[in-house]
Amino acid sequence: MIVLVTGCRSGFGLLTAVEAARRGHTVYAGLRDLDTADALVETAQGLDVTPVQLDVTSARDRDTVVAAIVEAHGRLDALVNNAGVALGGAMEQLDEDELRKVFDVNVLGLWALTKAVLPTMRAQGSGTIIQVSSVSGRMAMPGLGAYAASKFALEGMSEAWRHELKPFGIRMAVVEPGPFKTDIWGRNRALSRHALDPESPYAPMVQGLEAAVARIAQDRAEDPTVVSNHIADLLERPGPLPAQQVLGRAGWLRVGMKQVLPRPVLEWLVQRAIRPKAG
C-alpha cells in the first residue's frame, strides 16, 4: 500500500508513518519543514518511510508531492490527514490572522490536499482517507474555540465527502482523539497573542484553563500509539469504515457527558473545571 501521512514531525503523524511502514507499507511522511525530519528519520530507520516537503497550505508542495508519488508508483492508496494546529484563547481575544491560520491549516489545507489525491484514487477505483479530528469536533471547550470551530468544520466536510466518494470506491473515516501525550501539550502548544493579558476580562478564565490543561497533561493524557495503531488498523481493514470513532478514555467521557447530561448540568461542570482554584 502507498500511504501519504501529513504532519509527521512528531506525535500522531510520526507514529502513524512509522507504524504503517512497520506493517510493510510504503510511506511518504509530510513535513512542513524538511529540516525538522530528525526525529522521524531516527525513529523510522530501516523502514520504507520517505520524508517529503509538505506544507498543506502550499499549493506547490501539495501538487509536487502527489505528482511525485503517482509518478513513482502509479497509484496512491491512502491519505492520512493529520497535520493541524491548535490555538488557545477566548474567541473575543483572537485577532483575525490567528483565526485564519487555524482554518488555513485544519480546514482549507486539508480540503485542498484531499482534493489533490482524489483524481488518482477515483481512476484506480479505490482509496482510503483518514481524517484526524478531535473530540473538540464534538464538544467545544472554553478557550479552545478556534480549534473546535475548525474541527467542527472538518467533521461536516468529511461527512459530506464520505457520501460523495462512496460510489467511486473511496473510503473516508474520521478519528477523534481525546487527550494523548503529544507535543500539543508542550512544544506545539500555542496561545493567542492576547491570551495571557492580565488586564483582559478573560484573565480569570485563562488562569483556570491553564491549570486544567496542566492537570489533563499530567493525569489524563494517554499513550499516543493507541491512535497510530488504530489508524494503521483502519488502513488495513477491509470493507466500509466507521464514519467517526472517538479514541481514548477521556475522549469517550466528554462525548458521553454531552450525550446524556442535561445542558445546564454540562455547562456547570465545564465552568467548574476551569474555575481558578482558591489560594
- Would you state the CATH architecture of domain 2-197+222-248? 3-Layer(aba) Sandwich (3.40)
User: If DSSP codes are grouped into helix, strand and coil, which group holds residue 246?
Assistant: strand
Domain-by-domain residue ranges, the chain?
2-197+222-248
Q: What is the pLDDT along the chain (279 residues), one digit of tens a residue?
A: 999 999 999 999 999 999 999 999 999 999 999 999 999 999 999 999 999 999 999 999 999 999 999 999 999 999 999 999 999 899 999 999 999 999 999 999 999 999 999 999 999 999 999 999 999 999 999 999 999 999 999 999 999 999 999 999 999 999 999 988 877 655 556 888 998 888 889 888 887 777 777 776 666 778 999 999 999 999 999 999 999 999 999 889 989 999 999 999 999 998 887 776 654
Specify the pLDDT at position 205.
83
Specify the pLDDT at position 278.
54
| Spatial distance between the Cα atoms of 18 and 47, rounded to a whole number of angstroms | 8
All cell numbers assigned to 249: 478514555
Contact in structure between 174 and 155 (CB atoms under 8 Å): yes
Active site residues: 147
CB atoms closer than 10 angstroms to residue 129: 25
| Spatial distance between the Cα atoms of 73 and 68, rounded to a whole number of angstroms | 9
Specify the pLDDT at position 186.
54
Helical ranges in the chain per DSSP H = 11-22, 38-43, 59-73, 96-103, 110-124, 145-165, 203-219, 225-236, 249-260, 263-273
Specify the pLDDT at position 270.
87
Specify the pLDDT at position 111.
98
